[in-house]
Structure formats: C-alpha cells, structure tokens
C-alpha cells in the first residue's frame, strides 16, 4: 500500500481497515518489522487526519452547543434538569441567553455529554445584560 496524507473519507476508511488488519496480524504474534513500520506510519497518518477535521460545533456559542446536544440526545429542558439535579428554570434561562453557565453546570454537562468543559467557555452575550459571559 502506498502511503500518503489522507485526502477524503474513502481513503480514510481504507487506511482504517488496513490499520485494523495490521493490528490483528501483529497482535497474533507475527513479528514483521515492515508490517510494524506500516502500522505505526498509518497510525500517524490517521491521527493527522483526525486533527485536521473540523469540529461541527466550533462555530456555536455555548448556548447553541447545549441546544444542539439536547436535540441530538432527545433531551427537553425539563428532562435534562432532572438528570442533572437542578432547577428547570436554570436550563431555561441559559437556553434563552439570560444566564451564564456555572462551573458546576459545565462540569455536569461535560460529563453527561462526554465533551470537554472548555466547549462551554466561549464568550457570548446575554440578553438584557451589559456584560458578556466567558
């Protein structure tokens, strides 16, 4: 297999399949230096591809991110507030840009949705307030 930078999803899939195939062969005890080298090079190429992929949530404010996560996971404000053991009005105020995220809420949301808390730390404006939240 000729190795080069991944340029599309079909090539990405091909590299992933080859990586898995080599991993299985090598885990069965076959010590082949050429295969090991190919495995590690493909691993680096795949890692590079992952780093270059755009996060679909990058352009969202923390509020829009929360709304997208709620929709994607089938949560209403009420259901999420109950699971996080907090007032529904807190979730409502946040989703209507009337309140910022507390450190505790950021921690809970990060844990709940499996994302880093830094995703909720971008600056955005609250409605009816003079200051921004960051």
Domain identity same for 48 and 67: no
Alpha-carbon distance of 28 to 46, in angstroms, equals: 23
Alpha-carbon distance of 134 to 129, in angstroms, equals: 13
| Mean pLDDT, all residues of the chain | 89
Host domain of residue 98: 62-133
What is the SS3 assignment for 133?
strand
At 59 the pLDDT is 80
Domain identity same for 71 and 38: no
pTM of structure: 0.58
DSSP state of 117: G
Q: Examine residue 77 and state whether it is found in any structural domain, yes or no.
A: yes
Which ranges constitute the DSSP H helices of 28-128?
A: 33-52, 62-72, 77-83, 88-95, 103-113
Alpha-carbon distance of 20 to 77, in angstroms, equals: 41
Domain identity same for 109 and 75: yes
Q: Examine residue 4 and state whether it is found in any structural domain, yes or no.
A: no
């Amino acid at each position: 297999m000729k190795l080069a930078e991944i340029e599309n999803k079909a090539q990405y899939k091909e590299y992933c399949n080859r990586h898995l195939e080599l991993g299985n062969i090598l885990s069965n005890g076959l010590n082949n230096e050429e295969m090991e080298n190919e495995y590690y090079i493909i691993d680096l190429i795949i890692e590079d591809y992952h780093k270059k992929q755009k996060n679909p949530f990058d352009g969202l404010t923390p509020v829009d991110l929360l709304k997208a996560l709620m929709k994607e996971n089938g949560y209403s404000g009420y259901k999420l507030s109950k699971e996080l053991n907090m007032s529904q009005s807190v979730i409502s105020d946040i989703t209507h840009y009337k309140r910022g995220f507390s450190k505790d809420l950021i921690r809970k949301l990060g844990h709940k949705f499996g994302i880093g808390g830094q995703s909720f730390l971008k600056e955005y404006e609250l409605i009816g307030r003079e200051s921004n939240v960051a």
